[in-house]
Structure 1
């Protein structure tokens, strides 16, 4: 009897152990489900998985239908060689994308020889058609000259430069039409005398294609109002004539503080662009550029391609198609994007000073971009911000 009683107790205890185990497993599963749901809800709009680091030692890297593009002159040889060497070392020596160089005058043999030896892909040299780098018939050149002089008296940078205006108009509405660029979909714009501070061990072109991104930037900034006093009026006029042009999920709140009534001057700094030329080739952008061009603002004022591109991207694209490349350390002139996240800075072998990062400074539109896109800021961003 005693043995039977012990067996019954052991059997009973075993049942309770199983029951307790099942209950514990159920609670654990519910906890995990809650955590996952909460993480999904609080997840920022743009994720780190967007960047798939490539193991260059073991992987065969497929190339996208893309090129690196530079608009430069013969006298820019020293500056563009510096930019080429920098980007080749940090990125393209592992990917071997072609470079396309465009000039409104023929490139010299010296330029072509030295540059060709610097790039790991094929170097291609193109002459810009005269009709794309000249005054349209509808421009009153006397009036344009008077307006340039007025802006020069105001001390505005590039105020009296005709070539600067031709460049801005060309970058706004023509570069993607050049025969050398017709075979490509994506481009990375690189200018003379720029620096790339971090290793780029992933393919930014693949980021665009795989995640349906159209326009990528590193630096955002406020434009000088004196250079574009009537630009937004022309934009609103276009939208009035084309009420379906603005995307329902646009990023208008990045470029306007009042839902599009006025322009807050924020724009992506277009000296760095990784973008999809199919957007510039689209009907909505083509109509938009033609509308702006017909006003004469590129010559009577000093409209830059940066606000033109930025306004178009912010209005006509789905907001999720605009991408901040926050791991590409970059410098142009006095402004830099230096990743302030410690892990990114170390793992990408960045050489920049985090204190030089412009993203969260007062004249940058970076904080606004983070706010309107619900993007998660680096944990230590306040160390490098103007608060």
Structure 2
């Protein structure tokens, strides 16, 4: 008995010490995380008192059916069933380093397992260096295309005097890209023309990827198949407020379109995400379109075609600075059902300075490299709480 007692005492002391160390580490980490959040969160910088809400852990879990969560995903084997889809990047030759980094991360985290093709579009011809450096980091087909002149450049019917005055005013007001004509060309192209490009005609779905973005988690399911199987129109990871000075007349134009064409508005729309008063005023919320997985049949359809044409004829892309993000978001929110818009919670994504980082089991399952505490989801400039409201989560 004496020998057994002497042997047990060191074990008991060891267990007790481990328990004490764990408690201490937990307290330190909790304090560190709290201090970091207070120092860096947008809600703190903006003086917002919005608290991080409690969302059920599995509420935004992707519906991953058996065929996406099976052993077919292991060891780099491609799934036997694929969607009619492509990866898509709009880039210039000068973006080569950032483009290579983005493609490398997408390939490592997702596409090496699923093997979707890439389409690259540019307002000019791609350089041989660009094509060479991109082509060696993926084994899937890669296409490089030049954007047609009329799809990119400011149309001749725009009053350049009025447009240049608008650019100067925004530049004087310190609006980001306020004085940039090329930025306006890009926004208009992304709003109404990219899906018309000949290289995209064979495809229905696309995943938009930009240079210098990061993907922090393994994507072990196929978002394209998910979109098709569950009849989704638009997928996002980050949502935020738009700069009001860039779109002063956009919502009035949208309301005029709705009044003239009520047949295009879905009865089960997501107006509650876009407006606090039933549509009288726009709350500026939009999905950040530098990441989007979407159905080009929606953009190519009659409702969105009429919508874009109505917006375009006002000249707002040039007289103001209408972005493709609010245009896409308003269209998806009004012209499709709210349940056709999907938050891809499991895809860890970063476009400086904002990051969506999965939490809990999704973070572990995705072997994510991002810091859960830095996720933008419920920061003061985020509209995620409003999207929760659309889905019945009240904070």
TM-score bracket, shorter-length normalisation: 0.7 to 0.9
Residues of 1 paired with 2:361 and 2:152: CA distance? Answer: 45
Q: 2:206 aligns with which of 166, 187, 195?
A: 187
Q: Who is 1:142 aligned against?
A: 161
What displacement does 1:143 show? 1.3
TM-superposed deviation, 1:90: 0.2
Mapped pair 1:365 → 2:379: no
State the distance in 2 between where 1:250 and 1:142 align.
Answer: 38
Separation (CA, whole Å) in 1 of partners of 2:247 and 2:168: 16
**TM-score, length basis structure 1:** 0.84
Deviation at 1:54, TM superposition (A): 4.0
Among residues 185, 189, 195, which one is paired with 1:176 in the alignment?
Answer: 195
Q: Deviations over 1:315-370 (max 9, x none)?
A: 00011100000000000010000012x21111110000112100111110001111
| 2:237 alignment partner in structure 1 | 218
Shift of 1:47: 5.6
Give the structure 2 partner of residue 322 of structure 1.
341
Cα deviation digits, residues 84-113 of structure 1 (max 9, x gap): 000100000011110000000000011011
Displacement of 1:236 in angstroms is 0.5
Map of 1:231-246 to 2, 5 A cutoff?
231-246=250-265
CA contact (8 A) 2:191 2:328 kept: yes
Residue in 2 that maps onto 1:300: 319
TM-score, scaled relative to structure 2: 0.82
Q: Distance in 1 between matches of 2:273 and 2:261?
A: 21
Q: Residue 76 in 1 paired to residue 95 in 2? A: yes
Structure 2 stretches of 5 or more lacking a match?
A: 1-55
Q: Is the 8 A contact 2:78 2:114 kept in 1?
A: no
- Count the aligned residue pairs: 335
| CA distance in 2: counterparts of 1:43 and 1:192, whole angstroms | 32
Please state how far the C-alpha of 1:225 moved relative to its aligned partner.
0.2
How much does 1:43 deviate? 12
Give 1:11's aligned residue. none
* Aligned residue in 2 for 1:383: none
Highest CA radius of gyration, 1 or 2? 1
- Cα RMSD between the aligned structures? 1.8
Match of 1:132 in 2: 151
Corresponding residue for residue 53 of structure 1: 69
Which whole-Å CA distance do the structure 1 matches of 2:90 and 2:138 have between them?
16
Match of 1:113 in 2: 132
Q: Distance in 2 between matches of 1:64 and 1:102?
A: 21
Higher relative contact order (CA 8 A, sep 6+): 2
Residue 49 of structure 1: CA displacement? Answer: 2.9
Work out whether residues 92 and 120 of structure 1, in 8 Å CA contact, stay in contact via their aligned partners in 2.
Answer: no
The question of whether the paired residues in 1 share the 8 Å contact of 2:61 and 2:345 is answered with no
Give the conservation status (yes or no) of the 8 Å contact 2:88–2:207: yes
Counterparts of 1:1-387 in structure 2 under 5 Å?
Answer: 48-50=62-64, 52-55=68-71, 56-57=73-74, 60-61=78-79, 62-340=81-359, 342-374=360-392
Once the two structures are TM-superposed, the CA of residue 135 in structure 1 deviates from its matched residue by 1.6
> 1:48 & 1:329 partners in 2: Cα distance?
13
Aligned-pair CA distance for 1:296: 0.5
